[in-house]
Structure formats: structure tokens, C-alpha cells
Amino acid sequence: MLADYAVRVEQSRGRRYPETPHPYRDDFQRDRDRVVHSRAFRRLEAKTQVFTRRYSDHFRNRLTHTIEVAQIARTIAAQLGLNTDLVEALALVHDIGHPPFGHAGERALDVAMREQGLFFDHNLHALRIVEDFEMRYAAFRGLNLTFEVREGIIKHSHDYSAEEYPELEEYLLDQQPPLEAQLIDLADEIAYNSADLDDGFEAHLLTLPQIRAGVPGFERCFAEVERLYSEAPDKLKFNEALKRFLDRMVSGLVQSTRTRVQRIGSVEEVRRQGERLVTFGPEVDAERRECKEFLYKSLYFSATLEPEKVEAERVISELFAHWVRRPGDLPGGYSEKAKTEPVARVVCDYMAGMTDHYILEQYEKFCGGFRP
């Protein structure tokens, strides 16, 4: 049962290129399937989330993170009466535009582009992937996704203005996105906050006392677990506390959003709101911020991870500079595009699609590999 404010597939604004309806899958289900079968989606398996495989094969990569976001987002969507098929499609596509080496790679690619008077934005790049770069169909370029999925790619985590981005004008930039798209950014944050605590603890970069002292929401959950399982090993207590902390984030988001949307009667009314309606309540939001601040201070910018970030930035900046100077070294299709399009944009598009190991192979080939 969909709520009045949910997106209904039969009211979709449709695809850029009309297609014959499928006999037993609706358009949002087909969009989900097209994302899953895309090359860009498969490459997420070999892209860093936070930890490279130097630490362990057990840690999240972009693909496993994406699957966790989809699970959390579907759970929340079902509780709110939203369109779970649209939510799943948006969750699965939300990171498809990220380059190799995680956020360090994204920053390095943006810096390189800005030196050329341009910039890199992973949401805009994701739109380019599904609109142009994926080549699977004889009738059109790209995946020909519905308007609602393309809009969600652009608007799920960022507000763009029509003045600055006139090329995005069709995506109703003066309006709020539907709740299905609003949900994705916060489901993403729930997923990576809890996952990064887990992976940081497993990597021995975060200690249990450190997490308990730095994340008050987790500590409250851990105190409850200690009362119930006082004899359990610390690792199992950690797992139980983290499970409760994640559930608290999800439940808080559901409860707060349900209160905020109870008088909303349509998608159009959602779009007319002056702010996003999918939010945490004040108490849970404070715990979310505390966790995020702890992870930035104690993990993401830790001295232990710094050498890998420096290496990632060097690989991207030097390889980018090489191909800008010598576009003839690009593969044939990209080399041809560089004759008619800005070379920096062509190089950026090529590099952003790479996996971690492939970009290292290219760095070894063109720049001589790592230097001490």
C-alpha cells in the first residue's frame, strides 16, 4: 500500500526514449535491473569505500556499501509507504559516479579539473554515465532511465540551481525531490556511519574504549548490551551495540519523517515544501552528528590512512596531467573524443570510471609506478 505522498509508477514522467511496456516488470523495476546489469555498477566492486584491500577483503567496498544502503533504504521506505522499487533503484545507482580511491580520489580529480577551469561532481558524472556512457541498447545511448530515477541521481544529496546549471533545468531544480529521493542521502549516512565504525574497529584503527568515549549514542547502546550480556566477548558486545545503534538511527528517521509527512497528501505537495521532509528527530540527529564528527577526527583523517590518501592523490594528479599533455596516449575512443571535446573533460570521464587496480596499472604504464 503506497501512501498518498508516494511516487506511483503509473504517473511517471516517463523515459527520454519511449519503450514498449514490459509484460511483468514496471518501469522502476526495469530501471533497478538496468542499473544492476550495467558495467559501471559492476566496477563498484573494485573501488575503495574507506579501506583498501591492504587491510582485509572483509571490509566494505563501493559495491557492498551500495547494497547495504539499498537494504536500509527499502526498510525505511516500506515503513513510510513509499515506492520501494524506486527507492531501491535510486539506492543502487547513488554511488555509480564515484571515481577510484574513495573520497581522496574524488577530491584529487576535482582539484585536477579545477586547474583546467572545470570541476568534477560525482552526481553529475553519474547522470552522464546513465545518459551517455553505458552502451547496451541499439535504439539509444545510455540506460534510458525514467525521469524520476534521473532526477533522484541529481537531487538526492545536493541542491542545484538552474542559474548555475542550466543544463539540468528539466529536473525541476526549484522544487524539492520526492520523498523516495530525499531518503537516499540519509540512508547512505546511516549505512556508512555504522559500517565505518565496524570496519575501523575490525582494522584495529579504532578501539572499543575510543568508540565508547567518542560516540555517545553507541555508548548508550553498549551499556544496555553489557547489562544483558556481561560475560560475552567484547567483539560480540560491540556487534550487538552497533546493531542497536543502527536500528536507533533507522527508527529515529522513520518516526521523525512520519510525523512531518502526516499532513502531506501528494507528491506535488512534497515538491512545494520549503525544505526536505525526510529528517531525523533532534535527539537522534545529535547522535548522528557526534558519530560523523568522531569518524572524521579519528578515522578518515587519521595518520594511519594518510599515506594511502597521499598515494591516491599523486596517482590521479600525475596520470591526469600526463593524459592532458598527451591525449594520444588515451585509448582510441577517448583519443578521438579529445579532438572535438575539452581534453580535460575526456580525461576526467575516463579516469572516473576506473577501478582502483586498473588506474594503478595505468599509472605504472605511463608514469613509472610509485616513487618513495
User: What are the pLDDT digits (tens) for 191-229?
Assistant: 999 999 999 999 999 999 999 999 999 999 999 999 999
Q: Tell me how far apart the alpha carbons of residues 41 and 183 are, in angstroms, rounded to a whole number.
A: 20
Q: Tell me how far apart the alpha carbons of residues 366 and 229 are, in angstroms, rounded to a whole number.
A: 56
pLDDT tens-digit readout, 320-369: 999 999 999 999 899 999 999 999 999 999 999 999 999 999 999 999 86
* Range in 49-63, 155-169, 344-358 with the lowest mean pLDDT: 49-63
Question: Which residues, including other chains, have CB under 8 Å from residue 14's CB and lie 6 or more apart?
Answer: 27, 146, 147
CB-based contact 9:83 (threshold 8 Å)? yes
Using the structure block, give the residue that is written with the C-alpha cell 599515506. 307
- Give the closest residue to 182 by CA, choosing from 113, 80, 323: 80
Mean pLDDT, the chain, rounded, equals: 95
CB-based contact 77:224 (threshold 8 Å)? no
Q: Which residue type occupies 137?
A: Y
Give the pTM.
Answer: 0.95
CB-based contact 123:97 (threshold 8 Å)? yes
Give the Cβ contact number of residue 209 at 10 Å: 9
Q: How far is CA 272 from CA 87, 147, 201, 213, in A?
A: 20, 18, 43, 42
pLDDT at 302 exceeding the cut of 60: yes
| Domains contained in the chain, CATH given | 9-306 (1.10.3210.10), 307-367 (no CATH)
Q: Tell me how far apart the alpha carbons of residues 44 and 367 are, in angstroms, rounded to a whole number.
A: 25
Q: What is the pLDDT of residue 58?
A: 78
3-state helix, strand, coil in the chain (%, to 5): 65, 0, 35
Mean pLDDT of the region 59-84: 97
CB-based contact 97:129 (threshold 8 Å)? yes
User: Which stretches of 140-233 are assigned E, i.e. beta strand?
Assistant: none
